[in-house]
Structure 1
Amino acid sequence: MKTYREQYNDLHFSPEEKQAMVENLLAAVPETQKRVSHKKRLHVLIAAVIAAALCAACASGALQAAIQSLSFFLGNQPEQTQVLGEMAQPIGASVTDNGVTLTVDAVLGDANSYAILYTLSRDDGGPLFPGVDDPAIINLTDFRFDEDLTTTEPEGMEDAMKDRNVVSGSGWGPRFASILPGENAIHFMEASNWPTLNGMRGLATATFTNLRAKTVSIEIPEEDLCLEGNWVVDFQIDYKDASRYLPTGQVFHSNSKRDNVLTGTIEEFRLSPLSLKITYAFTVDETKLEKLYPYPDKTYANIPGYREDWLFNATADTLLDVPVILRFQDGTSEVLFYGGDLTDMREGKAIISDTFDKIIPLNTLESISIGDLTVEVPEQ
C-alpha cells in the first residue's frame, strides 16, 4: 500500500490540465467576482484545485486499501466490494509501541451496529514476525491478543438509559486476515451490535496487548509467537448510516413447529448490508405453551412463584426460536436465528438483532420472513 507521500508524488498535472481546471472553476464564479484580482485569484484557485485533488487521491488510496482488507472478512464479490466502498469511512488514527504501529483504518455501520478495521505493522518495514521461516508464516493460526477491548461512548446511550438500567450488546472479533511471508502488517476486524441503541457514533478507545500466534504444520514443530506491545488509541466512530426501514404494524405468528404459540406485531424493522433489527410486541398462548413445555406435576405447581418462573423460561425459549429467513433474488435463502435482546420481555417486547457474517447488498434481497410473515424488500 502506498504512503500518502508516495500518492502525492504520483499525482501530476500538465500545464494544459491546470489551465482547464482553472477555467472550469472560473466559469462557475459570478461575473461580478471575476473582475477583481484575476492574477491573485488564479494562484489561489490553482492551489485549491491541486490541494483538493491531492486530498482526494489520499482519501481514495487509503479507502481502497481499507476496502480490500474489509473484503477479506465481509465478502469480495463485486456487489459486496461496491457496498463496502459506499459504507467504509477512513479513520487513520494510530499509535506506536515497541516499533509496531496500530492503525484504525476504517469503520462502517448503521443505527446500532458497527465494524472496525485495524492494521498492525512493523515500522522498519521488516517482517511482522522476524526470524520465522516462510513455511511457518504460511501456517500461522490462532491469532489472539492477551487483551483486546474497545470502549465507546455512543450518541444513543443517553436516550437508551432513560427507560432502562441495562443496555445489552454483543460482538465478535478480532478476526484476522492471513499473512504471507515477508509481509510487515496484518489486518484484523471486530464488530459490535447494540440492539437497544439508536446511534453508534461517538468517541472510542481501542486497547490491544501482545499479539500471539501459533504455527501448526506436520513438518514444523508447534511454536508460540508473540509480538509484544501495548497499543491504546483514541478515535471517533463516524460513518454513513446504511440503514433502511421497512414497513411496520404487521402481525405474525411463530412457525408451525411452535404451533403458533406466539403472536407478534412488528414495531421496528431495520435492515442494512451489515445487520438486521426487528422489534416487536408479543403475546403467548399459555395453553399451547404447556403442550410444548409440559407443566410439572402438582408437587412443583404448588410452590409459590413456580408457575411464573416456568412461564418466563418457556416464553424465552419460544422467543429465541423464532426464525428469520432471508430470501435472495437468485432463489437462494438463508435462515437466521438471532437472540437479540429480551430485556423487556416481561413487558411483552422483544428484539431480534445481530450483525451478518458478511456484507449483504440490499439489492440482492427479495424478502425477509419472520414466522409466517413475509416482508418484501423494496428496490433502492
Structure 2
Amino acid sequence: MTNPADLADQLRSGELRLYELEDHADADTAAEARRRFLAEETGADLDAIGAYSFEAAKASGAAVENMVGGAQVPLGVAGPVAVDGGSATGEYYLPLATTEGALVASVNRGLSAIDDAGGATARVTDSGMTRAPVFRVSGVAEAETVIQWVDKHTDELRETAESTTSHGKLLGVEPYVVGDNVYLRFAYDTKDAMGMNMTTIATREAAELVEAETTAELVALSGNLCNDKKPAAINAVEGRGRTVTADVVLDRDLVEETLNTTPEAMVEGNTRKNLIGSAKAGSFGFNAHAANTVAATFLATGQDEAQVVEGANAITTMNAREDGLYASISLASLEVGTVGGGTKLATQSAALEMLGLGGSGDPPGANADALAEVIAVGALAGEISLIAAFCSRHLASAHEDLGR
C-alpha cells in the first residue's frame, strides 16, 4: 500500500499533481496525502476534515475531485407533519442540514401548526428537466427553416435523444429565435433522477442530428435558455424540474393561539412584504425565505446545492377565510432526485431513507415527486412561521432567545 507521507512528498517536489493521486493509491490514501500536503503548505489543522463517514471511493471522481475529506454541516429534523400529496402520503420528518440558528426551530413551528390543522396538501403539477443548445444560423430566414425541420422531425429527435438513456423521455422541444441564434429548449421526464447529466448527454446526440440534417451550427450545448443555476424568468414561468404547490387552511383559533397573530395580520404582512415588496425589488421569488428550507433539505438529501437558485422561484399566497387562514406556496422550478449524484453518499442516503424516499419509486418518478411535495410543505411551514413571527413582532426576539 502506498504511504500517504510519500505521496505528500511527491506533491511537494512536483513529481505528482493533486489530481494524479488516485492513479497511485486508493481514494482514502489519496485524500490523506492531500491533507498532509495542504496542512504543511497552509499551516491549517485539517484533522476535522479527515473525519468523514462516506465511502471515499464512491465520492472521489463521481461527486468531487481532488478529495481531501468531508465538510460537516449540522443536521436537524423538523416534524412530523401529515402530507396529502399526489405521491407523498402519510407523516414525514424533514431532515434539514444548516448552520443558520433558528431555522429548524422555525420550520418545526410551522410544521406543528400545519399538523395541528390536519396536515397539508401538495401536488406536483408539472415536471421536466431542460437543456437548451444554441445554434448559429445566417439569419432569420435560415432560422425559420431550421425550426420547420425540428417541428417535422420531433419523433426522430426523440428517438435519438432517448437512445442514450433507459429512463429519460423527451417531452418536447421549444424553439426560440434571437437574430442569427436558434435556441432549442429540450424538456425531459427524468423519472427519479434530477436528470441534469441525463438531459445533457441526450441533448448532445439530438443536437448532432440537427447539425447533420440542417445548416445550423452548434455553438454551445447549453445556451443558457435552459436555464441552469441562475435566476431566470423562464424557469419562474415555464418551470424546470418539478413545479409543485402545497397549501393548508389554519383555523382562526390555531393562528391566534399557536402563532400569536391573526389571519388578517398574516395576509397583510404577506401582501406588503412578499408580494408588493418583492415586486418593487424586481424579485423572481415572491416569498419570505423559501430558499432556506430548500437549501437545508438539498444539503441533507444530496441534491445539487447550486440549484437552490431555481428553488427560490416561489410565490407565497395567503387569504383570510371565514374558517381562518388559507396559505400556499408554489415552487416553479424545484430540481430534485432520489437516485444518482449526491443521493448515493452515506449521510444523504440515510436522510432520504428517513423520509422513506430513497432510490427509485414505484412507479418510476414517484419518489422524486414525493420529495418535491414534502420539501414544498416544509417551505410552506417556514413561510407561515416567519410571517407569523414578524406580524407578532417576535422575529428579532426569537433569534436573540436562541443566541443567534
TM over 0.5: no
| Higher RCO (CA < 8 A, seq sep 6+) | 2
TM range (shorter): under 0.3
The structure number with the bigger radius of gyration is 1
Greater per-residue helix proportion = 2
The structure in which a higher percent of residues are strand is 1
Relative to the length of structure 2, the TM-score reads 0.24
TM-score (normalised: structure 1): 0.25
